[in-house]
Amino acid sequence: MFLLAGRPAGPFRRPLGIPTGPSRGDPPAPFTKLGFVAKTTIEGAYRGGHLAPQGVHCAASALFHIAARRTFMTDRHPRGRAPGSDPRSVLVVVDLQVDFLPGGALAVPGGHEVLGLCNRAAATFRNVVLTQDWHPPGHASFASSHSGRVPFETIDLPYGPQVLWPDHCVEDTPGARFSAHVDVPHAQLIIRKGVHKGIDSYSTFYEADRTTPTGLSGYLRDKGIDTVYLAGLATDFCVAWSAVDAARHGFATHVVDDCCRAIDLDGSLAKAWADMTAAGVRQVRLDDLAV
């Protein structure tokens, strides 16, 4: 627990785009050793008259690609392998529920487009958690629960501003179910959030009062997980709030951006990315999940 909570530095915390190498404290990599052997061989062949200048050029090109591959491996995959194969990584698939898909009570534009993408992302992870928005009838986030209010207005609740939504994901109703196209049989945990009548919960770590935990953080730490990837719906609400909370609680956090879709209400998507970037959340794509 201490190691996880007090571990702000390390290769996996490195900002995106900063080249890395053995001098930064990484263990010797096979690619580095291969590059050294290749360089020595090329120099020897050239001095011995066995290699023409064109050959030197080709060999240098090969060395460049070895170095580029080494940088890719360490930047995108700090531990030198696909993140999903690492037992310390988890993919959290957010709210792929009927009500958030076209035809649902609170449809996210293009939400259906991520179903297959999230399935593909999940297939690369050994650890997967699904989240499920799950509200009791008359929930505080429903416009219908507040006299004279309409969906997408913002009101003040005891814990702060609250956007009012159409009734959605009411517990144990068809709209709250996962889409039939979700195909993640190896998911190990389903976290239900927004279960308290008076508190909404975009984040899958803490409810909107910012103090009531869902229990996900403890679950992940008990399993030795220190790196969180997120995908699903919607980028600017449940994904973003979850990502910011994950980063603030010491997890190296990534959002698989092309596996998400946004509601984008009054600039909420831009604000969400500003908040995520400020919290240290990194943006990745589905292609980045495979080496």
Interacting residue ranges for Zn ion, rule: CB under 5 A: 133, 194
Nearer to Zn ion, 59 or 176 (CB): 176
Least distance (Å) from Zn ion to the CB of residue 141?
5
At residue 40, what are phi and psi to the nearest 5 degrees?
-60, -45
Least distance (Å) from Zn ion to the CB of residue 246?
19
- 151 burial class (0-12, 13-18, 19+ CB within 10 angstroms)? middle
Least distance (Å) from Zn ion to the CB of residue 269?
18
Nearer to Zn ion, 13 or 192 (CB): 192
193 is annotated as an active-site residue? yes
Q: Please, are residues 203 and 193 in contact by the beta-carbon 8 Å criterion?
A: yes
Distances in whole angstroms, Cα of residue 229 to Cα of each of 34, 107, 156, 185: 31, 23, 31, 18
Spatial CB neighbours of 97, under 8 Å, sequence gap ≥ 6: 104, 132, 133, 169, 175, 176, 177, 178, 179, 233
95 is annotated as an active-site residue? yes
Residue of 86, 99, 193, 245 marked catalytic = 193
Least distance (Å) from Zn ion to the CB of residue 133?
4
Nearer to Zn ion, 42 or 182 (CB): 182
Nearer to Zn ion, 86 or 133 (CB): 133
Q: Please, are residues 175 and 197 in contact by the beta-carbon 8 Å criterion?
A: no
At residue 99, what are phi and psi to the nearest 5 degrees?
-65, -20
Least distance (Å) from Zn ion to the CB of residue 95?
8
Q: Please, are residues 233 and 100 in contact by the beta-carbon 8 Å criterion?
A: yes
Residue of 118, 238, 259, 260 marked catalytic = 238
Nearer to Zn ion, 125 or 142 (CB): 142
Q: Please, are residues 262 and 232 in contact by the beta-carbon 8 Å criterion?
A: no
Nearer to Zn ion, 133 or 236 (CB): 133
C-alpha atoms less than 13 angstroms from C-alpha of 233 in its C-beta half-sphere: 25
Least distance (Å) from Zn ion to the CB of residue 184?
21
| H-helix segments, 225-279 | 240-248, 268-279
Alpha-carbon distance 111 to 63, whole Å? 43
Residue with tokens 């604000």: 271
Alpha-carbon distance 52 to 67, whole Å? 23
- Find the residue with minimal CB distance to Zn ion: 133
Catalytic residues: 95, 193, 238
